[in-house]
């Protein structure tokens, strides 16, 4: 995901203005004793059923959420973790200003105390869930949109609810993934699932959302919007007096554009042209876009976080010269379709999305590795985690993951040859379609595409 404004221009050291949240020595299940962990990522095949009612201006949403899931691990599943990422930079709040995302009245299990700055809720299941079996938990949800211009925030009459909906966390061979929100980049790791989200809102509010949305009249003066999305890792919506336009790409993808009254018209037009071209081009290059439609939500006042991708919907800071729309659409493949643990391996989505963006624009890359100059430190590497960047190396995140990561992939293309690289990447996407990839899996795919030993290449580019 992208939390800065970035497309074709070189990255600036914007990290200096971002809030750094200290990273604990270990964010894997803090405070718990060692225990056998399942090898398979679980709980998987989640299905979210959500019904929320919005207030007059979309600042408050209340309702009920149910999530069913399967235990994919051979080890019985005794609890699940729900992540409240909307609380990430707010923590546990205060009596006069509670956390933005609140849950209560849990059914289907016994909740524990909130942990990891009130972003994690453990729910103990009533009985161990065996391999292959399904269970469900449900809880009340209350969401208050923070008073800030942000992916989860507001601007004037517009509300943005990115990372607001509680999601299931993942357990795998590394244990319970309870990493913190470090205040920049992303910490998310979720498995693809299905969503059915019903939003009851004032009819004056336009509500773009992940998935395919149908609308019907509700109570007097209200509309009920039902959005269904399958095979996605998150769900996001916005609310406000947006203007809108719908176009269909030559490849058959429906693009729904929404923008505020102050968004430059020339920027909207440019973003639409680039969106139409890039979603079809990436579909041909990496595999057809699977969701049928994609929402572009544009504003000229979202510079506090730049642009941000979610499955089936991207938030864009749009100026007359456009936005990072191509980069964010590339993320539909790298993080959306091919998932990754964004805390442990941020390069697997950001570097790949930037590589795809530079391919789309035809940027010159022949000397990009030499142009980068020296590594910013002896410990810098493409495969560092957000824990490393949060521990005194946050400027390296922007200097390494975006430009060096994309350049490493261009260099790999020169090493393998253009056709072999294209074939390898298409196979890599196919093999991890709606799954989760790792650095090791990518290295295996690349090595299988050539008789050359890529060991020296990985070492030179610090892909460890």
Record the tokens describing residue 196, joined without a space: 């059915």
Q: List pLDDT tens digits, range 285-302.
A: 999 999 999 999 999 998
Beta strand 120-129 pairing with 110-115? antiparallel
- CA distance linking residue 429 with residue 332, whole number of Å: 12
- Among 1-10, 26-35, 236-245, the range of highest mean pLDDT: 236-245
Q: Check whether 89 has a pLDDT greater than 90.
A: no
Return the sign of the alpha-carbon dihedral for residues 189, 404, 397, 357.
Answer: negative
Q: Check whether 63 has a pLDDT greater than 50.
A: yes
Selection from 4, 7, 40 nearest residue 326 by Cα = 7
- CA distance linking residue 365 with residue 109, whole number of Å: 53
- CA distance linking residue 275 with residue 287, whole number of Å: 16
Q: State residue 2's pLDDT score.
A: 53
Using CA atoms of 134, 137, 143, 149 in order, give the dihedral in degrees to the nearest 10. Answer: -30
Confidence band, pLDDT 50/70/90 cuts, at residue 309: very high
Q: State residue 403's pLDDT score.
A: 97
Selection from 200, 176, 202, 201 nearest residue 189 by Cα = 176
Name every residue whose Cβ is closer than 8 Å to that of residue 348 and which is 6 or more positions away in sequence. Answer: 334, 335, 338, 340, 342, 437, 438, 439, 442
Selection from 34, 362, 16, 64 nearest residue 200 by Cα = 64
Radius of gyration (C-alpha) of the chain in whole angstroms: 21
Record the tokens describing residue 422, joined without a space: 């294209």
Q: State residue 427's pLDDT score.
A: 98
Q: Check whether 160 has a pLDDT greater than 70.
A: yes
Q: 337 and 429 in contact (C-beta within 8 Å)?
A: yes
Q: State residue 305's pLDDT score.
A: 74
Selection from 83, 102, 107 nearest residue 92 by Cα = 102
Using CA atoms of 251, 254, 260, 265 in order, give the dihedral in degrees to the nearest 10. Answer: 30
52-85 burial: b if 16+ Cβ within 10 Å, else e? bbbeebbeebebebbbbbbbbbebebebbbbbbb
Q: Check whether 101 has a pLDDT greater than 70.
A: yes
- CA distance linking residue 419 with residue 424, whole number of Å: 8
What 3-state DSSP class applies to 457?
helix
**Residue matched to tokens 């800030």:** 148
Confidence band, pLDDT 50/70/90 cuts, at residue 7: very low
Rounded to the nearest 10 degrees, the angle between the axes of helix 347-361 and helix 405-416 is 70
Confidence band, pLDDT 50/70/90 cuts, at residue 23: very low
Q: Check whether 18 has a pLDDT greater than 70.
A: no
Using CA atoms of 228, 229, 235, 236 in order, give the dihedral in degrees to the nearest 10. Answer: -60
Q: Which residue has the higher pLDDT, 29 or 134?
A: 134
- CA distance linking residue 50 with residue 63, whole number of Å: 8
Exposed, middle or buried by CB within 10 Å (0-12, 13-18, 19+), for 168? buried
Q: List pLDDT tens digits, range 373-421.
A: 999 999 999 999 999 999 999 999 999 999 999 999 999 999 999 999 9
At residue 16, φ and ψ (nearest 5 deg) are -65, -20
Q: State residue 20's pLDDT score.
A: 31
Q: 290 and 308 in contact (C-beta within 8 Å)?
A: no
Residue 429 DSSP class: H
Name every residue whose Cβ is closer than 8 Å to that of residue 459 and which is 6 or more positions away in sequence. Answer: none
Q: Which residue has the higher pLDDT, 2 or 102?
A: 102
Beta strand 237-239 pairing with 158-161? antiparallel
Record the tokens describing residue 227, joined without a space: 């959005």
The CA distances from residue 6 to 298, 303, 350, 361, in Å, are: 15, 11, 11, 14
Q: State residue 15's pLDDT score.
A: 34
| Model confidence, pTM | 0.92
Record the tokens describing residue 121, joined without a space: 């809720």
Name every residue whose Cβ is closer than 8 Å to that of residue 42 and which is 6 or more positions away in sequence. Answer: 70, 71, 72, 73, 77, 170, 171, 172
Selection from 324, 329, 322 nearest residue 349 by Cα = 329
Selection from 129, 130, 128, 123 nearest residue 109 by Cα = 123
Choose the weakest-confidence range: 85-99, 152-166, 269-283, 342-356.
85-99
**Mean pLDDT for the chain?**
92
Q: Check whether 439 has a pLDDT greater than 80.
A: yes
Return the sign of the alpha-carbon dihedral for residues 432, 250, 306, 407.
Answer: positive
């Amino acid at each position: 995901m992208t939390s800065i404004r970035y497309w074709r221009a070189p990255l600036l050291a914007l990290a200096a203005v971002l809030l750094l949240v200290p990273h604990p020595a270990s964010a894997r299940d803090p405070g718990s004793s060692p225990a056998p962990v399942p090898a398979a990522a679980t709980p998987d095949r989640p299905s979210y059923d959500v019904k929320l009612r919005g207030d007059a201006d979309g600042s408050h949403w209340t309702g009920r959420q149910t999530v069913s899931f399967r235990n994919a691990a051979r080890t019985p599943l005794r609890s699940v973790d729900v992540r409240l990422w909307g609380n990430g930079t707010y923590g546990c709040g205060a009596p006069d200003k509670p956390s933005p995302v609140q849950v209560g009245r849990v059914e289907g299990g016994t909740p524990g105390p909130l942990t990891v700055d009130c972003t994690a809720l453990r729910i103990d299941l009533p009985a161990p869930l065996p391999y292959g079996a399904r269970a469900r938990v449900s809880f009340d949800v209350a969401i208050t949109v923070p008073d800030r211009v942000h992916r989860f925030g507001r601007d004037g009459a517009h509300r943005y609810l990115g990372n607001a909906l509680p999601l299931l966390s993942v357990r795998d061979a590394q244990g319970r993934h309870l990493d913190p929100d470090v205040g920049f980049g992303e910490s998310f790791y979720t498995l693809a699932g299905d969503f059915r989200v019903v939003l009851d809102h004032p009819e004056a509010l336009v509500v773009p959302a992940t998935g395919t949305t149908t609308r019907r009249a509700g109570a007097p003066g209200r509309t009920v919007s039902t959005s269904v999305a399958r095979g996605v890792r998150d769900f996001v919506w916005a609310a406000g007096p947006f203007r809108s336009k719908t176009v269909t790409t030559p490849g058959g993808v429906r693009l729904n554009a929404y923008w505020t009254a102050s968004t430059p018209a020339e920027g909207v037009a440019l973003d639409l042209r680039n969106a139409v071209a890039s979603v079809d081009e990436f579909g041909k290059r990496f595999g057809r876009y699977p969701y049928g439609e994609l929402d572009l939500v544009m504003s000229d006042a979202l510079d506090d976080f730049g642009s941000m991708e979610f499955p089936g919907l991207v938030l864009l800071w749009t100026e007359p010269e456009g936005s990072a729309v191509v980069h964010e659409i590339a993320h539909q493949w790298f993080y959306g379709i091919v998932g990754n643990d964004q805390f442990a391996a941020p390069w697997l989505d950001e570097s790949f999305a930037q590589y795809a963006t530079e391919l789309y624009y035809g940027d010159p890359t022949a000397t990009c590795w030499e142009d980068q100059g020296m590594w910013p430190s002896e410990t810098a590497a493409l495969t560092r985690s957000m824990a490393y960047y949060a521990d005194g190396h946050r400027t390296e995140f922007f200097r390494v993951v975006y430009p060096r990561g994309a350049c490493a992939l261009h260099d790999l293309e020169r090493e393998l040859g253009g056709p072999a690289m294209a074939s390898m990447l298409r196979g890599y996407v196919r093999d991890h379609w709606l799954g989760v990839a790792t650095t090791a899996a990518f290295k295996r795919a690349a090595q299988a595409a050539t008789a050359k030993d890529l060991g020296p290449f990985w070492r030179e580019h610090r892909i460890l």
